[in-house]
Amino acid sequence: MPVKLTEHEIEDALKKLPNWQREGDTLRREFQFKNFLDAFAFMTKVAICAEKIDHHPNWSNSYNKVVISLTTHDVGGLTPRDLALAEAINREAP
Ligand SMILES: C[C@H](O)[C@H](O)[C@H]1CNC2=NC(N)=NC(=O)C2=N1
């Protein structure tokens, strides 16, 4: 079971994830694409990453927009797994 990050660890990690915003026990980032197909292609890549690291996003999609929220359900807070997924998502981002 992953261990929750401390406040200090979260603040430190966010310095390396400037596109992500802290919202309580979540990290949030919005993405905008040219059209729905590009948005969905990105979601497919993120889904494959999520399966590989066995950590999954909460997300919504509306046409060309994708909003991703990360948290660790098993412990009710942010853990290193959320940071790993945020980094993996950034690598897939346009
Ligand atoms: C059994 C399985 O590994 C766990 O339930 C994983 C799967 N993916 C997960 N994803 C997220 N975001 N939080 C979790 O706690 C979580 N748990």
CA-nearest residue, atom 16 of ligand 1: 55
ipTM, 2 decimals?
0.95
Mean pLDDT (whole number) for 2-29: 97
- Kindly state the helix (H) or strand (E) to which residue 88 belongs, with its residue range: helix 80-92
CA-nearest residue, atom 5 of ligand 1: 74
Provide residues with CB under 6 Å of ligand 1: 54-56, 72-74
pLDDT in tens, 39-69: 999 999 999 999 999 999 999 999 999 999 9
pTM, two decimals, is 0.97
CA nearest neighbour of 27 among 88, 51, 94, 92: 88
Q: Is the pLDDT of residue 20 over 90?
A: yes
Average pLDDT, the chain: 97
Residue 54 CA to ligand 1 centre (angstroms): 6
Q: How many angstroms separate the CA atoms of 89 and 42, rounded? A: 9
Residue 61 CA to ligand 1 centre (angstroms): 21
Q: Is the pLDDT of residue 11 over 90?
A: yes
Burial 45-76 (b: 16+ CB within 10 A, else e): ebeebbeeeebebebebeeeebebbbbbeeee
Q: Is the pLDDT of residue 10 over 90?
A: yes
Q: Is the pLDDT of residue 94 over 90?
A: no
Whole-number pLDDT of residue 88: 97
